[in-house]
Amino acid sequence: MYTFKVMIHPNNKQMTKIRRTLNKCIECNNIIYDYLDSFLKNNEKIPSCGDVRKWFTIQKSIKDNEVIEKRKGLTKKEMISNHLDTLFYDVSNDALKQEIKDTYNSFIRYFKKLSKYPVKKKNNNYKKSFYVDPYKIGFSNKKVRLEKISNNKKPNRQRLNCVNMAEKDRIPLNANYYNPRVVLEGDRFYIVVSVDDEYAPKKKITTTDSIIGIDLNIKAVVTSDNDIYKSVTVTKRYRKALKKEKRAQRKLSRKYLQAKTLKKSLKESKNYIKQRKIKTKYTRRLRNLEESYFDYVITSLKNKRPKEIIIEDLDVKEMKESDNKYVRKGLQRNPFSKLLKALENRCNNYGILIRKVDRYYASSKTCNICGYKKTDLKLSDRTFICPNCGLKIDRDYNAAINIKKYALVNN
Ligand SMILES: [Zn+2]
């Protein structure tokens, strides 16, 4: 499976329609969440997904009728400021159906102890998305056709459903599409869709026989050839952007309170909207910096043309709950799992094998020459000094060599 992510340029009308669908999906999520949550609070068994969907179909018409009732005698502007401008009926049914399934599954995952207790979706999340039926989506070389983007009743309204894409000929035509989604990140819209592997752009490289071991830690990525790629989160650029983002967020919440005290809705408060744009800009800057860092690390690894890359099988979730304050804090902002995911995906594409070594193998505590295990090594000891053979080596470099060796032995 290969995933494409392409930016789209909806026009003004389409943009409003997409935003409305996103908002309705979040409303749907909240309704289903409350419904399922009430069952759990009373220690009752939750109904099946089909029953929840049937229940929601009734709720949908009740809510829509309520809105129609409230709309009477209001002008269009008043309708918008009172959030009465959209009905569930106006948005794509597939998007809502999938939203119910997703919410339901998040509860099921909690029961199976695969995840924490689900959280409600919020309207001000940086990233929002809705599902499009793969049989109804259509691609041409420049455009993507979505469902219910236009409510025009003219015979040629199919054309109005077509949204311009930013890149030509990127997504393969006539493929099987999986889980297509319209995504809003900050203020930019994307279409994300998966296709079978045969449609993936071919980037296979000729590899040499070398093997690279990698030690990942909060501050850097260290390879067994002693190349150090400093983590993006410790760079000056990132820190500056982070500071600016935090400041923008503080200002935003002040604007929010201002609007609340003046009893204005957020849609009407121009100061709030202006500040939100500024905040989004910095959030995007942080994400872009992260992504360019991933590119840099992965490309430099690829240019060595290794046959295999060996990484530690880290449990990031477990590390986030670690007793060590510094580990927890360092991970808060660290795009650790994103980097691992990107590395795996891209290496698959290049034809480089990725292998994971045992999570509980003590790579940093073992001497890479004589194999002595130094059990009292602390996190603060940056150099590894072997009491057995006297080896003096950087801690992470030692770990990277050990990871490589471990993979060679357990081949
Ligand atoms: Zn030693």
Q: SS3 for the chain, per residue?
A: CEEEEEEEECCHHHHHHHHHHHHHHHHHHHHHHHHHHHHHHCCCCCCCHHHHHHHHHHHHHHHHHHHHHHHCCCCHHHHHHCCCCCCHHHCCHHHHHHHHHHHHHHHHHHHCCCCCCCCCCCCCCCEEEEECCCCCCEECCCEEECCCCCCCCCCCHHHHCEEEECCCCCCCCCCCCEEEEEEEECCEEEEEEEECHHHCCCCCCCCCCCEEEEEECCCEEEECCCCEEECHHHCHHHHHHHHHHHHHHHHHHHHHHHHHHCCCCCCCCHHHHHHHHHHHHHHHHHHHHHHHHHHHHHHHHHCCCCCEEEEECCCHHHHHCCCCHHHHHHHHHCCHHHHHHHHHHHHHHHCCEEEEECCCCCCCCECCCCCCECCCCCCCCCEEECCCCCCEEEHHHHHHHHHHHHHHHCC
Q: Ligand 1 centroid vs 358 CA: distance in angstroms? A: 22
Q: What is the pLDDT of residues 213-233, one digit of tens each?
A: 888 887 888 888 888 998 888
Q: Ligand 1 centroid vs 316 CA: distance in angstroms? A: 30
**Per mean pLDDT, which range of 9-13, 251-255, 321-325, 395-399 is the poorest?**
321-325
Is the model's pLDDT at 314 over the cut of 80?
A: no
Q: Which residues contact 128 (CB under 8 A, 6 or more apart)?
A: 22, 25, 26, 121, 183, 184
Q: Ligand 1 centroid vs 381 CA: distance in angstroms? A: 16
Q: Ligand 1 centroid vs 24 CA: distance in angstroms? A: 62
How far is Cα 7 from Cα 243, in angstroms, rounded to an integer?
28
Q: Ligand 1 centroid vs 406 CA: distance in angstroms? A: 16
Q: Ligand 1 centroid vs 368 CA: distance in angstroms? A: 7
Q: Ligand 1 centroid vs 46 CA: distance in angstroms? A: 58
Q: Ligand 1 centroid vs 369 CA: distance in angstroms? A: 5
Q: Ligand 1 centroid vs 373 CA: distance in angstroms? A: 8
Q: Ligand 1 centroid vs 400 CA: distance in angstroms? A: 15
Average pLDDT over residues 275-299: 92
To the nearest whole number, what is the mean pLDDT of the chain? 87
Beta partners for 188?
Answer: 185
Is the model's pLDDT at 158 over the cut of 80?
A: no
Q: Ligand 1 centroid vs 199 CA: distance in angstroms? A: 50
Q: Ligand 1 centroid vs 214 CA: distance in angstroms? A: 20
Is the model's pLDDT at 257 over the cut of 80?
A: yes
> Higher model confidence: residue 127 or residue 85?
127
Residue reference for tokens 């000094």? 385
Both tokens assigned to 11: 């026009």
Q: Ligand 1 centroid vs 379 CA: distance in angstroms? A: 19
Q: What is the pLDDT of residue 8?
A: 94
Is the model's pLDDT at 73 over the cut of 80?
A: yes
Q: Ligand 1 centroid vs 384 CA: distance in angstroms? A: 9
Q: What residue spans define the domains of the chain?
A: 2-199, 211-409
Both tokens assigned to 122: 């919020």
Residues by chain with Cβ below 5 Å of ion ligand 1: 367, 369-370, 372, 386, 388-389, 391
Q: Ligand 1 centroid vs 370 CA: distance in angstroms? A: 4
Give percent of the chain with pLDDT exceeding 90: 36
Q: Ligand 1 centroid vs 360 CA: distance in angstroms? A: 20
Pick the closest to residue 46 from 32, 55, 36, 34 (CA basis). Answer: 36
Q: Ligand 1 centroid vs 211 CA: distance in angstroms? A: 23
Average pLDDT over residues 392-399: 87
Do residues 199 and 175 make contact, with C-beta atoms less than 8 angstroms apart?
yes
Angle formed at CA 230 by CA 229 and CA 232, multiple of 5 degrees: 115
Q: Ligand 1 centroid vs 382 CA: distance in angstroms? A: 16
Exposure letters 70-86 (e unless 16+ CB within 10 A, then b): eeeeeeeeeeebeebbb
Q: Ligand 1 centroid vs 385 CA: distance in angstroms? A: 8
Q: Ligand 1 centroid vs 390 CA: distance in angstroms? A: 6
Is the model's pLDDT at 36 over the cut of 80?
A: yes
Q: Ligand 1 centroid vs 363 CA: distance in angstroms? A: 13
103 band by pLDDT with thresholds 50, 70 and 90: very high
Average pLDDT over residues 109-132: 89
Q: What is the pLDDT of residue 156?
A: 63
Average pLDDT over residues 394-408: 86
Q: Ligand 1 centroid vs 128 CA: distance in angstroms? A: 52
Q: What is the pLDDT of residue 205?
A: 84
Q: Ligand 1 centroid vs 243 CA: distance in angstroms? A: 43
Q: Which residues contact 399 (CB under 8 A, 6 or more apart)?
A: 215, 222, 363, 364
Q: Ligand 1 centroid vs 327 CA: distance in angstroms? A: 27
Q: Ligand 1 centroid vs 310 CA: distance in angstroms? A: 22
Both tokens assigned to 94: 């597939």
Average pLDDT over residues 295-310: 91
